Amino acid sequence: MKSKYEQVFSQDNIATKLLGYALLFAMFFSFLLIAWYAPTERTMGFVQKIFYYHVPSAWNAFLAFGVVFVCSILYLTSRDRKWDILAASSVEIGVIFSLIVLITGPIWAKPVWGVWWSWEPRLTTTLILFLIYVAYLLLRYFSGQGQRTANFSAVLGIVGFLVVPLVYTSVNWWSPEAQVHPQRIGMGPNMQVAFFVSLFTFTLLYVYLLIRRVRVAYADAAVEDLRQQND
Amino acid sequence: MKSIFAILWKDLLLELKTKESFLSMLTFGLLILVLFNFAFEPTPEMKRAITPGLLWITFLFSGILGLNRSFSLEKENMAIHGMLLAPIDRSLVFFGKFGANLIILFVTELCTLPFFLLFLNMPLFEHFWLILGIILLGTIGFVSVGTLFSAMATSTKMREVMLPLLLFPISTPILLAGVACVRDILAGEAFAEYRHWFSLLVAFDVIFLVVPSLVFEYAIEE
């Protein structure tokens, strides 16, 4: 008999399937909102539309790394393997979303700021975060399976997240004149609707990807167990 | 306390006898300086501009060498098992290793400083103690996280390669704050000008002395 926790990640879980279909619909709906419902921004023009993917991706990346932090602490205190699997899965998703931020950022920056890259606090912080968690994945890759890997990952998951405020503060002081992100975004009501729908959709996407990734991780673990039984 | 000093003294004694870490770090630091000079052919103004950054780059890069040795040394002949079997708290092991790494790296940094005077015309002696203090503060944070990661990196397949990948991104605040402080000190600015950077360094040191000592037991567990 599977526990309730495992049922969530089983292949034939109805709720997960429904979430997948809901997500498909929400993605399409949010695209329609972004493309037609939200007005084209006055000064930046059409390229500003990338904002509706750029910012939610950044939110997902930070959310993912926050989840890693919490799961890492829970793993070290409980030694329950499920937290390690959850953390490692979340890192992968976080890395993907920070990569999306790092790609959409320059696409947006080139026409608006005139350069592909500016060493600007938020962009720089995302880059550093990306590098920290890529190192996390490498560490896992190079230290194989087992409890030791889980321990190492949890340590890095904690240290890596704690350093974020310090990194942000330092790169912010380092180049204050480069702060080109708007501190506050003035959005019309239609823009707000499109933005928050997109943000919500992306958060759902994170949850869905996490469930899917954890399922794969359990399948991996099951294969590993079978292999060891046969040896 | 006694066990911290026992570990610290063991590492220092080893280093005093062989001078392996010290000599390799010093030579490596010197090489970095020479290579940078070739790469940039700095004019006197450029020298002034790049000195603070080059100072920290040299320290971080040669620091990696010493930190890598710190635990691979314990792995040889399985010395680490003996240390783990000792009936002491793991955080004491951490502080022992940290102390030894700190002293070795700091002494190496002191010996590297004259070359900055020689090659880059760095006005070292005008603000000697201030600069030394900043270097010590930055080195404390770097070595603290470095000791933690070194214990982890030596247990992976990639060993030496893994440590810089883990340590450099985390050390960004130290690099930025350290460079800013040294730059302002060399420019003769008042303390108020770089006080915020100074407090960032202190904050980093405090956080990353406490956290690694808490999680160190998971980093060396077999």
Q: What is the ipTM of this complex?
A: 0.88
What is the CA B177 to chain-centroid distance, rounded? Answer: 14
- Nearest by CB to residue A170, choosing from B148, B162, B200, is B200
Mutate which of B156, B162, B195 to disrupt the A interface (most A C-beta within 10 Å)?
Answer: B156
Average confidence (pLDDT) over A168-173: 84
Nearest Cα of chain B lies from the Cα of A92 at a distance, in angstroms, of: 16
CA distance B177 to B180: 5
Contact B89, B220 (CB under 8 A): no
Query: Who wins on pLDDT, B91 or A145?
Result: B91
Instruction: Look at residue A179 in the predicted model and tell me its pLDDT.
Output: 58
Return the SS3 of A2.
Answer: coil
Strand partners, A45: A41
Q: Between A and B, how many residue pairs show a Cβ–Cβ distance under 8 A?
A: 88
pLDDT class of A191 with cuts at 50, 70, 90? confident
pLDDT tens for each residue of B153-170: 888 887 788 999 999 999
Delimit the domains of chain A by residue range.
50-179+189-225
- Nearest by CB to residue B169, choosing from A131, A144, A151, is A131
Contact B150, B67 (CB under 8 A): yes
Contact A173 B180 (CB under 8 A): yes
Contact B203 A166 (CB under 8 A): yes
Nearest Cα of chain B lies from the Cα of A175 at a distance, in angstroms, of: 10
pLDDT tens for each residue of A61-92: 999 999 999 999 999 999 888 899 999 999 99
pLDDT class of A1 with cuts at 50, 70, 90? very low
Residues of chain A neighbouring B211 (CB-CB closer than 8 A):
158-159, 162
Contact B152 A156 (CB under 8 A): yes
Rg of the Cα atoms in chain A: 20
Contact A151 B156 (CB under 8 A): no
- Residues in A lying within 8 Å of B, measured between beta carbons: 76, 128, 131-132, 135, 138-139, 142-144, 147-148, 151-152, 154-156, 158-160, 162-163, 166-167, 169-171, 173-174
The burial of A208, by beta-carbon neighbours within 10 Å (0-12 exposed, 13-18 middle, 19 or more buried), is given as: middle
Residues of chain A neighbouring B212 (CB-CB closer than 8 A):
159
Considering its fold, how many domains does chain B have in total?
A: 1
CA distance A65 to A94: 6
| pLDDT surpasses 80 at B6 | yes
Residues of chain B neighbouring A135 (CB-CB closer than 8 A):
165-166, 169
Mutate which of B144, B176, B201, B222 to disrupt the A interface (most A C-beta within 10 Å)?
Answer: B176
Phi first, then psi, for residue A45 (nearest 5°) are: 80, -155
pLDDT class of B49 with cuts at 50, 70, 90? confident
Among A134-138, A174-178, A217-221, B147-151, which is the least confidently predicted range? Answer: A174-178
Contact A142 B218 (CB under 8 A): no
pTM of the model: 0.89
**B178 to chain A: nearest residue by CA?**
A170
Instruction: Look at residue A4 in the predicted model and tell me its pLDDT.
Output: 65
Residues of chain A neighbouring B197 (CB-CB closer than 8 A):
173
Nearest Cα of chain B lies from the Cα of A5 at a distance, in angstroms, of: 26
For residue A21, CA distances in Å to A32, A52, A57, A227 come to: 17, 21, 20, 35
Q: Which of B153, B152, B220, B205 is nearest to B174 (CA)?
A: B205
Residues of chain B neighbouring A147 (CB-CB closer than 8 A):
221
Instruction: Look at residue B108 in the predicted model and tell me its pLDDT.
Output: 95
Nearest Cα of chain A lies from the Cα of B13 at a distance, in angstroms, of: 30
pLDDT class of B140 with cuts at 50, 70, 90? very high
pLDDT class of B3 with cuts at 50, 70, 90? confident
Residues of chain B neighbouring A143 (CB-CB closer than 8 A):
152, 155-157
Query: Who wins on pLDDT, B181 or A168?
Result: B181
Instruction: Look at residue A177 in the predicted model and tell me its pLDDT.
Output: 61
Q: Which of A202, A224, A230 is nearest to A63 (CA)?
A: A202
| pLDDT surpasses 90 at B175 | yes
Contact A162 B211 (CB under 8 A): yes
Contact B218 A154 (CB under 8 A): yes
- Nearest by CB to residue A155, choosing from B169, B177, B218, is B218
How many Cβ atoms are within 10 Å of B40's Cβ, its own excluded?
12
Contact B63, B105 (CB under 8 A): yes
Helix, strand, coil % (nearest 5) of chain B?
Answer: 90, 0, 10
Contact B218 A131 (CB under 8 A): no
Query: Could you list the residue range(s) of the whole structural domain that residue B196 is in?
Result: 2-220
| pLDDT surpasses 90 at A8 | no
pLDDT class of B98 with cuts at 50, 70, 90? very high
Contact A142 B148 (CB under 8 A): no
